[in-house]
Amino acid sequence: MSHDEQALFSAVDALLEQVAQDPLPPPAERKRLREAAGLSQEQIARALKARRESVGNWEAGRSEPRPPKRAAYARLLEGLAARFPAPQEPHDPPAPASVPAPAPLPASDPAPKAPTPPAAAAPPAARSTEPATTSTRPSAPPRRAGAQTSAKKTSAKNAAARKTVQRPAVTAGADGRFENGPLAVVDVDDDGQVVAYCAGGLVLDVPAGTLPALVDWTLEEARLGQARLHRHGRDADPVLVLTEAALERYGLPTELSPEERRAGRLAAGHKVVKQISRAGQRLTQRGLGPWARVYRDPEGSRRRCVQLCVPAWGALPADEWDDRNNPRLPGLHAADLARFLGTYADRVMTPRGTTAVTGLELMTALRPPTRAERDPVTGEFRQAFNDDALTRVHEVVECEVPDEHPLLKGKFARHHQRTPAEMLLEEPYQWCRPLTDDECMRPYLVAIDVNMAFAAAANGLTVGLNGPTHLTGNPRFDPALPGSWLVDLSHVDLARVRVDGRAVDAGRLPSPFTPTGERPTGPAWYATPTVAYAVELGFDVAPVEAYVRTRTGRYLDPWYKRLRDAYVATMADLGVTTDLSGSEFLDAMARTREADPALALLLKAIKATAKGGIGKLRQRNRGQVPYYEPWPALERVTWRPDIRAAVLSTVRISMHRKMLKTAAAAGVYPVAIGTDALVYPSPGPSPLDFLPLTPEGRPAPGTFRLGVSPGMVKHQGTRTVLWAEQQFEEHGGVFNIANLVKM
């Protein structure tokens, strides 16, 4: 036989070996057999000359062994199955002899793959990583080499074999351009093949050998991206998340040097940065860092850009995308990470950086500043502004900007502490007071937390869409005009306030006008919602001057609705729905602590997006430039400290309004508040032990209400009064217990 003939026969043998592989039991059964024999993953790995991690992946269904290890592994499992048969289900009727009964699946394990008949010329099947149960482990993922087939066309037999439960399925969308979802996690499998785990449960073989080639493959073949959220917006760029194995494969470090961490990017002379330049691709001025964008020249009006996310360089910090006290992102398999980030993209938007950056970008994606408009004379398209959006950078107001703003240069000493009459200070509550004697007789301190407080405050909020107008000469207060008002509210005495005909103990409540809860002592700058609340309480207000916006709108409404729907849908996946009563809600929330960790991460990311997005409206100089020098954020149309102030004012005022109602209905008062959490003395350990109810058993109108929707409250934690007294003694009284009462 000639050498050419031998090569041809070898190629045919390889094809036959590929399509006629030894059958393997489902992943859950592989694990059961090993444990029944008392073997460790390490022992099996040594016998098969494989890595222990590979055995773990085979048992979890993340990957499949390849020849020649596959045949040896199949023989081992066959021998173990003969010695340790699966236990018979006592209540299952015997299956007909001609149709073997499927083995029962534990709730935490993926369903088995249906056998695929051999076909000599058939290409490798697509593989799905979409898990079949609430476990974070994906089912054995069929892989495909190309990217031209929809994820919906994966094996129908596999889909039929899965056990269906309620879970956060990622929708690829009807847009064929992005049939494989918004992003992919690029990893290297046990056999050294670069693979891309997609959000829709698909795994693609990646042929690219360099980072520029990976960018080209993503733009030309991978069909990744996300359709615009608004008809006047733009499609989201595809995101590639690079694991440490992928970094090594493409010549990138798995850890930045101290100098690179300070710079936030690789050095311009790094070989991969040079590869990108030689390939005719471009990076932004931020270079190749934790979140980077690589551009190719556009095709006509079509933008061509790929966003890179590098978790190993700090792209997904624990305080935003994960739990700081129990970090799990580094432990997520690439398929689980793709599911987590893909579901986030599906429900919120494709990540654009940190959760805070994404939260701000979501505002613009839902309210684009411009649109294409045809000129009635020439017939050509031109750019036009949208009336309901933030469209341009406006002049700023001295009282609304932070201390380091260029506007304040030369007006104050470097370390001057501006007074309330010199700056707008609308922040969330940080307040704590000593317990009274009768409160000390109650054994518990119960903390409740307002769901999505920052997003809820944005709901229906009227904000300014244009620049400021300066009002002088003691202008009349107008609650319809958003902005900042210089007014003296020191005369507002809560002891004079009556709620539903009842007086409240003003000494036990914080002032609604300061973050510290202390009563104002003179004129100060306030956002419109704060001054409007003083009027609501029945007090006269007399502004000295104001900076208001005359073109107004509910700019944040679609942003709130998008985040609300994402939050409620994720809570429903965790078993907490909007139709639960108070006790049912508390029970369901308690069960979430044992739920799918990927869903818990998703929930945290959604909440961080809401909170961080509002914070970005007044992004400060973080050492980027010297004091009083302009920093990059000031060039954004969304750098609007007045809108941030209005939201935070509404958070505080909304909480105070409910505190008043709760005090009037049940005579209970908070002892501490930390941002969106309130601590109440209670005769029992549950919020149900102190929250007021009507005679019919429903929450008293206007008070805090247990539930899953934004603005409602959940149980944050319980401590004893004795614990609080010990904390006060240790910290000398300068201490906010609201920050420590956790589950």
Q: pLDDT band at 560, cuts 50/70/90? A: very high
Q: pLDDT band at 132, cuts 50/70/90? A: very low
d(CA 144, CA 202): 8
Tokens of 599: 């869903």
The region of weakest confidence among 253-257, 598-602, 639-643 is 598-602
Q: pLDDT band at 633, cuts 50/70/90? A: very high
Q: pLDDT band at 394, cuts 50/70/90? A: very high
pLDDT at 552 over 60: yes
What would the pLDDT profile of 377-389 be if each residue is shown by its tens digit? Answer: 888 888 899 999 9
pLDDT at 146 over 70: no
d(CA 349, CA 236): 8
Count CB neighbours of 487 within 10 A. 23
If one compares 52 and 714, the residue with the highest pLDDT of the two is 714
pLDDT at 489 over 80: yes
The region of weakest confidence among 120-124, 263-267, 431-435, 734-738 is 120-124
Mean pLDDT score of the chain, rounded to an integer? 85
Q: pLDDT band at 500, cuts 50/70/90? A: confident
Sign of the Cα torsion 433, 438, 441, 447 reads: negative
- pLDDT for residue 123: 33
Q: What's the one-letter identity of residue 75?
A: R
- Nearest-CA neighbor of 481 among 432, 527, 512, 436? 527
- pLDDT for residue 597: 79
Q: What's the one-letter identity of residue 584?
A: E
- pLDDT for residue 83: 83
pLDDT at 632 over 90: yes
- pLDDT for residue 13: 54
- pLDDT for residue 114: 35
Percent of the chain whose predicted confidence (pLDDT) is above 70: 83
3-state secondary structure of 123: coil
What would the pLDDT profile of 398-429 be if each residue is shown by its tens digit? Answer: 999 999 999 999 988 777 899 999 999 999 99
Distances (CA, A) of 462 to 287, 396, 594: 38, 19, 40
- pLDDT for residue 690: 96
- Gap between the terminal Cα atoms of the chain: 74
274 dihedral zone (left: phi>0; alpha: psi -120 to 50; beta): alpha
Q: Residue 672 in contact with residue 679, Cβ under 8 Å?
A: yes
Give the CA count within 13 Å in the CB-facing half-sphere of 108. 8
What would the pLDDT profile of 66-92 be if each residue is shown by its tens digit? Answer: 878 888 898 899 889 888 888 754 443
pLDDT at 364 over 70: yes
d(CA 369, CA 128): 39
Q: pLDDT band at 133, cuts 50/70/90? A: very low
- pLDDT for residue 170: 42
Domains assigned to the chain: 21-84 (1.10.260), 124-353 (no CATH), 398-427+462-553 (no CATH)
Taking each helix axis as running N to C, give the angle between helix 211-220 and helix 271-278, from 0 to 180 degrees, rounded to the nearest 10: 40
Count CB neighbours of 526 within 10 A. 28
pLDDT at 103 over 70: no
d(CA 230, CA 253): 38
pTM of the model: 0.78
The region of weakest confidence among 415-424, 495-504, 730-739 is 730-739
